[in-house]
Amino acid sequence: MSAQLVPTILCGGAGSRLWPVSRESHPKPFIRLEDGESLLQKAFKRGAHLPGVAQVLTVTNRDLFFKTSDEYREVNKEGLSASFILEPFGRNTAVAVASAALHVSATLGDDALLLVLPADHLVSNQPAFAAAVKEAVTLAQAGALVTFGITPTFPETAYGYIEADGTKVRRFVEKPNAETAQTYLDSGNFLWNAGMFCFSAGTVIAEMTKHCPDVLDATRKCLDAARRAAGADGAQIELDGDTLGLAPDISIDYALMERSTNVAVVQCDIGWSDIGSWNAMGELAHPDERGNRVEGEALLHDVSNCYVRSESRLVGAVGVEDLLIVDTADALLVANRHRAQDVRHVYAALKASGHEAYKVHRSVHRPWGVYTVLEEGSRFKIKRIEVKPGASLSLQLHHHRSEHWIVVSGMALVVNGENEFYVRTNESTYIPAGHKHRLTNPGVVDLVMIEVQSGEYLGEDDIVRFDDNYGRS
């Protein structure tokens, strides 16, 4: 392979069908599997371990950048270069692919190959995946837009399909009903659409110029504005929100792949799943003799064909069957296994009502670390706060609440009004409402502390930032 291959990970979406583990600020790619790795980490390794890869490019939301970087740091043992295109808000996959192609073309040339990988899919057979990519690279270097088609094993109605004749794509078809899906399976000519692609930067730009120039032009303006912005560089580019809002909100399938006549397909059997529901997640766990699959701690009596997942608490179940039971610190899902796709309606209702359970967990990741809400009530909230070594919260104040900080382990460097001082293990300090303050971990181990907030209003939006290391306003 003469041209450079750039795995391009698209990390977005809400994962609403995997609520309550998936939330807006902790979407599906960050869900951890039984082996301790997230779907995002597996996607990174899937691309990074291919031959001839020198860097991995990720297109993701601006708010997920630091969390994504942390995830990569855990698994990027070889120190592979990771670059980012950051979106201030989601604008579907056509803009994501266009921005990646324009960026790769500008930095590596039109011959460089993009391997587009969703961050929230699972591939269990890496050797078969590598072989499929090798075939796709050959087709892409010959000038084709290449998609990957999965050999179907049952008449799935939740996937789109590709009708193929060898490597030639006859047509893309939408998610079928059960009867149509069975005819597709019986014909032997249809493949599941895996949503993965391979093409050269020059080819996809040329094809988008033909079939969706509005997407390409709007994206180019976004990138041009980002490159003019102060601090923008080749490793981290943040798209301009004003111009991004003018870009069409459309998928790469609709915008390009279904319109182009220059599309090839690689048929493969790579152990692929889009992990599109709790049923699909449950299939990853080993079943007991009654078909139950359990992740976490559960006691089951006269239970059959259930999936139980609990992050911390013991779950007991008696005399039930065909249920999905997913327990988190602040929300519990109980659903019929045959209605797994309808979990998205719960997520949608929470979002419509403004309930915070659609957006955040009790534990919330920040660029500097993580906080967990332990308890809250009228006029008080208790948090456990972990700050990474060398990290610092913003210089800030709160109008409506005061804070007590108790250091559990490590050491804190505190700014409180005009004073700066250290707070060591088993020591505490008090931050009155209206005082400028800052918390820094000057040590080499995590700083762990308990924060007790009290006041008339305890919302996260009661914050005025004066200085921030992470570009937050």
Kindly state the average pLDDT of the residues 267-290: 95
The DSSP bridge pattern shows strands 168-173 and 161-165 to be: antiparallel
Which of 75-89, 228-242, 396-410: highest mean pLDDT? Answer: 396-410
pLDDT digits (tens, 9 = 90+) for 174-189: 899 999 999 999 999 9
Strands (E), 256-391: 263-268, 272-273, 293-295, 298-301, 307-310, 315-318, 323-327, 332-336, 363-366, 369-377, 380-387
Query: By C-alpha distance, which of 349, 365, 310 is closest to 27?
Result: 365
Per-residue pLDDT at 1: 52
Query: By C-alpha distance, which of 441, 431, 448, 445 is closest to 385?
Result: 448
CA distance 188 to 179: 15
Residue 287 dihedral angles phi and psi, to the nearest 5°: -80, 150
Kindly state the average pLDDT of the residues 112-139: 97
Return the amino acid letter for 331.
A
CA distance 121 to 15: 11
Percent share of the chain, pLDDT over 90: 86
The DSSP bridge pattern shows strands 55-61 and 5-11 to be: parallel
CA distance 14 to 17: 9
**In contact, 100 and 8? CB cutoff 8 Å:** yes
Kindly state the average pLDDT of the residues 357-372: 92
Confidence of residue 230 (pLDDT cuts 50, 70, 90): very low
Say if residue 81's pLDDT is above 60: yes
Q: Is 196 left (phi over 0), alpha (psi -120 to 50) or beta?
A: beta
Confidence of residue 233 (pLDDT cuts 50, 70, 90): low
Query: By C-alpha distance, which of 39, 57, 35 is closest to 48?
Result: 57
CA distance 234 to 218: 20
Return the amino acid letter for 308.
V
Instruction: Kindly list the distances between the CA atom of residue 18 and the CA atoms of 123, 278, 358, 363, in Å, as whole numbers in the listed order.
Output: 18, 6, 11, 17
CA distance 407 to 403: 13
Kindly state the average pLDDT of the residues 102-124: 96
Say if residue 226's pLDDT is above 50: yes
> Which tokens belong to 237?
């580019």
DSSP state of 180: H
| Chain mean pLDDT for the chain | 94
CA distance 398 to 412: 20
Per-residue pLDDT at 52: 85
- H or E, element range at 20: none
CA distance 188 to 250: 30
Q: Where are the domains of the chain?
A: 5-273, 278-344, 363-467
Percent share of the chain, pLDDT over 70: 98
With H, G, I as helix, E, B as strand and everything else as coil, classify residue 370. strand
Per-residue pLDDT at 240: 85
> Which tokens belong to 427?
């020591």
Per-residue pLDDT at 291: 97
Query: By C-alpha distance, which of 243, 202, 210 is closest to 113?
Result: 202
Instruction: Kindly list the distances between the CA atom of residue 191 and the CA atoms of 14, 241, 245, 262, 416, in Å, as whole numbers in the listed order.
Output: 26, 37, 34, 18, 62
Say if residue 231's pLDDT is above 70: no
Confidence of residue 234 (pLDDT cuts 50, 70, 90): low
Kindly state the average pLDDT of the residues 108-126: 96
Confidence of residue 15 (pLDDT cuts 50, 70, 90): confident
Per-residue pLDDT at 228: 75
Which CATH superfamily is 5-273 part of? Spore Coat Polysaccharide Biosynthesis Protein SpsA; Chain A (3.90.550.10)
**In contact, 114 and 8? CB cutoff 8 Å:** yes
- Assigned CATH topology for domain 363-467: Jelly Rolls (2.60.120)
pLDDT digits (tens, 9 = 90+) for 434-458: 999 999 999 999 999 999 999 999 9
The pTM score is 0.90
Q: Which of 146-150, 237-241, 250-254, 391-395 shows the lowest mean pLDDT across its residues?
A: 237-241
